[in-house]
Amino acid sequence: MYVVESKGGAIVCMLLALLFLGTWPALITLLERRGRLPQHTYLDYTITNLLAAVIIALTFGQIGDSTVERPNFFTQLSQANWSSVLFAMAGGVVLSLGNLSTQYAWAFVGLSVVEVISSSMTVVIGTTLNYFLDGKINKAEILFPGVGCFLVAVCLASAVHSSNAADYKAKLSSWPIDNETGKGTVFSSASEEAVLKDRENGGGPIRKAKAGTATFLIELEKRRSIKVFGKSMLIGLTLTFFAGVCFSLFSPAFNLATNDQWHTLKQGVPKLAVYTAFFYFSVSCFVIALVLNISFLYHPALGVSKSSFKAYLKDWNGRGWAFLAGFLCGFGNGLQFMGGQAAGYAAADAVQALPLVSTFWGVVLFGEYRRSSRRTYILLFGMLFMFIIAVGILMASSGHRK
C-alpha cells in the first residue's frame, strides 16, 4: 500500500485536488445551461465518481506487500472493521446529498457564490472538528485565523449574491414586455425556433447576445433545464447552506474512519486505510445518488422536466462531459484524503479554495458578473481576496501525522 508521508507530498495532493474539485462543477453547470436534465447528468457523474475510487483502491491500495500494520485493499475487505466502514459510508451519504443540492443551487445563485458559501461553511465547521479529531497536530494560532477569514468570505459571498441579483433585476426590468403574456421576449415572431435550431445545427452567422445583457439572460433561460425566472433566489441560498452543512461533516466522518479516534475497532484490528475507506465512502455516495436521481426522473423537483430511465439511457448528448466530471470529483476527493492522512485533515480542507477555480470558469465559460454594477465588482474582489488569504493561512497550518 502506498502512503503519502511527507508534507511536500501532501501539499502536491492538495493542489491537484484543488484543480480537480474546482473544475468538475463547471462541467455540470455547462451541461445544465445547454439544457441537459440534471437527473441524467448526475447519474452519469456518479458512475465515474465510483469508478475513480475503485481505480485508486486497486492501484495505490495494492502497491507493495501487505503487512499487519499496513494491509492492502483486498486484505482489509475481509477484516472486522465495520465500525470504521460505517463512518466512511456516513461521510459518503452527506457528500452525495451536498453535491446533489449544489447541482440545483448553481442554477439559482451562480457557480461562484454557491462554491464560496458552501466551501467556507465546510472550513468553518469541518476544519474545527478535524482539528480536535487530529489531536491538534495543526498550529491553532495559524489555523483559526484562517477559519475566521473563511467566515468573512461567507458574508461577502452573500453580499455579492444580493448585489448581483439586483443587477439582474435592473437589466430585465428594461426589457420589452409581451402585453399578452406579461413575459419578456427575445424574438418578435416564430423565427425564434428557427434561429435557435440554426444555432444548434451550426448554421450561418448568428448574432450572439453579449454575456451579462438582458438578451443573454433570457436566451439562457430558454435553453437551460432548470428554469429560474419567477422563482425566489431564497431557494438557491437555502440549498447552498444545506449543502454547506453536509460538506462540513463528510471530512470529519472520513477522519474517524481512518484514524479511529473513538476507539471503536477491536484490539488487534488495523485502522482502515485511506484507500479502503474511500472505496466504502464512494459506494455509499453512489447508492444514495442512484436512488434519489432515479426517483427524480419520475418525480422531478423545482420544475425540472419529467423523464424516465429509458430516456436517460438514450441521452448521449453531453454524457462524455458528465463522465469527466465524475472522474475529476472522484480523483479530487481521493487526493484530498491522501493529503489529509499525511498532514492533517484540517489543513487538507485548504482544497476548499476550489471556488477560486470555479469562479474562473464561471466568468470565462458562463459570463457571470459581466456588465454588473461597480458595487458587485468591489464585493466580488473582496470575497476572492479574503478567500486567497484564508487558504494561504490554512495551508501554513499543516502539521505531520505520526
Asked if the model's pLDDT at residue 96 lies above 90, the reply is: yes
C-alpha cell at 216: 443573454
Burial of 338 (0-12, 13-18, 19+ CB in 10 A): buried
d(CA 214, CA 217): 5
C-alpha cell at 165: 441579483
The pTM assigned to this predicted structure is: 0.79
Nearest C-alpha neighbor of 131 from the set 396, 337, 348 = 348
Nearest C-alpha neighbor of 54 from the set 287, 281, 337, 319 = 281
CB crowding 16-26: b at 16 or more within 10 Å, else e: bbbebbbbbbb
Asked if the model's pLDDT at residue 174 lies above 90, the reply is: no
**Which residues, 6+ apart, have CB-to-CB distance to 180 below 8 Å?**
none
pLDDT of residue 188: 35
The residue behind cell 440534471 is 38
| Distance between start and end Cα atoms, the chain | 17
> Given pLDDT bands bounded at 50, 70 and 90, which one contains residue 38?
very high
Residue 129 burial (CB count, 10 A): 18
What digits encode the pLDDT tens for the residues 331-372? Answer: 999 998 888 776 666 666 666 667 677 777 777 776 677 778
Angle at 111 between CA 150 and CA 243, to 5 degrees: 60
Among 122-131, 132-141, 162-171, 259-268, name the one with the lowest average pLDDT: 132-141
Beta bridge mates, 152: none
What digits encode the pLDDT tens for the residues 102-157? Answer: 988 888 877 767 877 887 788 778 877 877 886 666 677 777 787 788 778 777 87
> Given pLDDT bands bounded at 50, 70 and 90, which one contains residue 216?
low
Asked if the model's pLDDT at residue 309 lies above 70, the reply is: yes
d(CA 264, CA 256): 10
